[in-house]
Structure 1
Amino acid sequence: MTSSIGSLVHTHLDGDGPGSLSVALVSEHASPLAVLGGVDAGGQNVHVACLASALADRGHRVTVHTRRDDPDLPDTVPLRDGVDVHHVPAGPPEPIPKDELLPHMHDFARHLTRVWRSGRPDVVHSHFWMSGLTSLRAVGPLDLPLLHTYHALGTVKRRHQQLADTSPPQRIDHETDVGLGCDRVVATCRDEMLELSRMGIPADKVSVVPCGVDTELFTPRGPAAGRRTQRYRLLQLGRLVPRKGAAVSIDALTRLPDTELLVVGGPPKDRLGEDPEVRRLRALAHRAGVGDRVHFTGGVSSRQVPALLRSSDVVLCPADYEPFGIVPLEAMACGRPVVASAVGGHLDTVADPATGRLVPPRDPEALARAVADLLARPEVRAACGAAGRRRVLRRYGWNRVAAETEAAYCAVLDARHAVTEVV
């Protein structure tokens, strides 16, 4: 009797058989090697890097394909044992905003087809809609299995940003094509699954697998970074773009005496003054009379983040919308309570009141009330932090996320194998 590929993988992982998967992760703009906190460098970069590593830990061979944005980058960079990053020549080798990359995706797809024709991966997993479009074109001539994770949906972005949405006008149509054309969609939360159903993507074609967090790097144990200037510290971490809600945090700070706000992300510290969003936020803070209580660190490496999180009393995640949001997981893993907007992936990750509080988006008064309640009760903060750590260990460790992703790969491979056997 012929064994399916999925069954072989499961056998291997139990240590009783040969074989592992060759996995191609496609992440056109979000390199796992990028410094975090820039306009286009955030949660997706972390997700791709950690998923690749966790899949390698489970015995698979992983290559991440991302666009070359620097002429000095080598063709291939080892990320760790079992994971290589392949820099794809597509467009000029320089940084380009992701919303301007679509014209270069044809070259990206042609390059992938050439690469995969000479060394076929067992499975392709694309990340973000342009990677999905590119991968769909690249796998077509080769009949390779394709899974896709959106990370963000154009319908949601357009609904919230309206005229400020800089995505190409074809984005939503392309996202629908990717969802219908791939073998399986790997959604990150229940809210995304509902959005996909409105786009016409069949529910039985979607698996929900959350993003994860490195529970050994992000831990309550260890040093805390930076000297405080106030009794309490709030921290906001992530890309410095308006939808992340740093302006809401600054507004809330005016209602919170004896409290400072540490904003982590953006360009390097020595270039913060050049950044339009930093200038806007600083101006808001000064007009609100809290300029001396708002501090910007600039972009930091992932290794620096846990100590910064541990230095805070409460972590704020007040985004207008959030497709998933890794920061709440990182904060909970470090034993810190989270106050987040009740949107997107936050609805899955933040358990209110056990691990923090959920508040309406764009509501600085509600944000301030929730934070003030936590700051006034240290025993509640401690209980939320401990519950958050338990929740992350139970549900969001990368080994579990990788195992669930691997199960989706195996389901696709088994289904294809079954069709081949019937034929």
Structure 2
Amino acid sequence: MSHSYSAAGRVAMVSEHASPLAQLGGPDAGGQNVYVAQLAAQLTRRGHEVVVYTRRDGPGFPERVTTSDGVRVVHVPAGPPAPIPKDELLPYMEEFSQWLAREWAAGPPDVVHAHFWMSGLAALAGARSLGLPVIQTYHALGTVKKRHQGAADTSPPERNAIETAVGRECSAIIATCADEVAELDAMGLPRRHVTVVPCGVDPGLFAPVPGAREHGTGPRRLLAIGRLVPRKGFDRAIRALAAVPDAQLLIAGGPQRALLRAEPEAERLWALAVEFRVSDRLALLGGVSRAHMPGLISSADLVLSLPRYEPFGIVPVEAMACGTPVVATAVGGQLDTVVDGRTGVLVPPESADHAIGTTVRGLLDDRDLLAEYGARGRRRVLDHYTWDRVADAVTRVYSAVSSVPSLSGVVR
């Protein structure tokens, strides 16, 4: 089907498993979905025409949908129209790429931006015969996942080799943090093709909510947020809670609260809380909508982000945007986003959990310091992590390899 374009630039985004329309909190729905949705919306507001291609994973999905932001989402028929774990999608990427090739032959975009390694594989195959430039954002790397998950890693065995091949063939790579650059370098990918552009946050939505909590009344509130998967480190937060006797811990993530009993990770966390005798101070909230998240974050004294590894980690940025300080493990993107001793505290990933608890207790005892950290965190987000700044940097990468205009040619 042919399409006519009249926008400043024609941008095709490929996000094979992470639809910008998805409900967050599922095992394969998280930061990448938000990134694609927000970046696409921001580029559309600047006058670009953006089409996001994602795999059709439901039988009743229309082929093409236009979001309220004006972003077009195309559900590509590749494999059965049903949810499939992302680690099982590789066999369907050839069908995905062939569909893209037909689509782009009828109306080629100016640039293709692939999100995740399988999207890169499909995008390059679909763009190759047309000579279209492809930008790659990995969002997560197989080498890192294998290192931390070992035998529990369910990625296809071909993943690392494909990631390297994609990085060598694409026109440019956008990394989200300095730690990822080091990983790409270790993979043998040329540093000159890599640009660091962090993930962003909407500071209008994620902002301090006045009156969200009357600090000084009731127990101190700790908050942890993320998908209910072991690597997020919620178990560490629970064990740390044992060393903070006057605090409560809220964990937001996963399915709706009523469905948590069927969630294995929720059951594991609850059993751990019983073992450490903190179950009376733990609340598993289930999934919390983005609309309600700023109020929840603003109600907390501290946000705990304790993953064992984290490619970028948007939770600390959202917390800082709400003026809430962060205690985070010194891993991945959190090394960039959380400034130790300025917007929160970075703890070594090998720290004993009771030592993390001691750190948390010390912070909770210093309300003035918490207030300073919170204010500095908000300023840091406004200076570095707005979607407007992200779109500026991404557009510069686009314009370096394609006809998409840089800032000077963009309609604001």
Deviations 1:88-112 (A, max 9, x none): 1111111111111111111111111
Which amino acid is the alignment partner of residue 397 of structure 1? T
Q: Normalized against structure 2, the TM-score is what?
A: 0.93
> CA offsets, 1:313-337, max 9 Å, x none?
1001100011111111000000000
Match of 2:153? 165
Task: Summarize deviations over 1:221-245 as a string: whole Å, max 9, x none.
Answer: 3463899995111111111111110
Kindly provide the amino acid, as one letter, of the partner of residue 395 in structure 1.
Answer: H
2-structure distance, mates of 1:118, 1:182: 22
- In structure 1, the partner of 2:206 is 218
**What does 1:40-189 correspond to in 2, within 5 Å?**
40-189=28-177
Q: 1:414: how far off?
A: 6.1
Conservation of the 8 A alpha-carbon contact between 1:235 and 1:312: yes
Gaps of 5+ in 2: 1-5, 405-412
Aligned pair in 2 of structure 1 residues 81, 244: CA closer, same or farther (>3 Å)? closer
Shift of 1:74: 1.4
The residue number in structure 2 matching 1:421 is none
2:336 maps to 1:368: no
**Separation in 2, partners of 1:362, 1:53:** 39
Is 2:14 aligned against 1:26?
yes
Displacement of 1:301 after TM fit? Answer: 2.1
Q: For 1:233, what is the secondary structure of its paired residue?
A: strand
Q: Distance in 1 between matches of 2:216 and 2:224?
A: 15
- Using the size of structure 1 for normalisation, the TM-score is 0.91
Matched residue type, 2:355: A
Q: 3-state DSSP class of the match of 1:80? A: coil
1:332 alignment partner, SS class? helix
* Residue 264 (structure 2) pairs with residue 276 (structure 1): yes
Cα distance per residue 1:106-163 (max 9 Å; x no partner): 1111111111111211110000111111111111121111001000110111111111
Q: CA-atom RMSD, angstroms? A: 1.8
More divergent stretch after superposition (199-208 vs 54-63): 54-63
Identical pairs, percent? 56
Q: CA deviation at 1:395?
A: 0.6
Is the 1:39–1:240 Cα contact (8 Å) retained in structure 2?
A: yes
Q: Give the unaligned 5+ runs of structure 1.
A: 1-17, 416-423
Specify the alignment match of 1:245 in structure 2.
233
Indicate yes or no: 2:376 matched with 1:387: yes
Query: Could you tell me how far apart the structure 2 residues matched to 1:62 and 1:106 are?
Result: 23
Cα shift at 1:82: 3.0
Give aligned pairs, total.
Answer: 398
Higher deviation after alignment, 177-186 or 51-60: 51-60
CA–CA distance in structure 1, aligned partners of residues 208 and 99 of structure 2: 44
Moved over 4 A (4+): 225-230
Report the Cα distance in structure 2 between the residues aligned to 1:225 and 1:175, rounded to whole angstroms: 45
Q: Helix, strand or coil for the counterpart of 2:73? A: strand
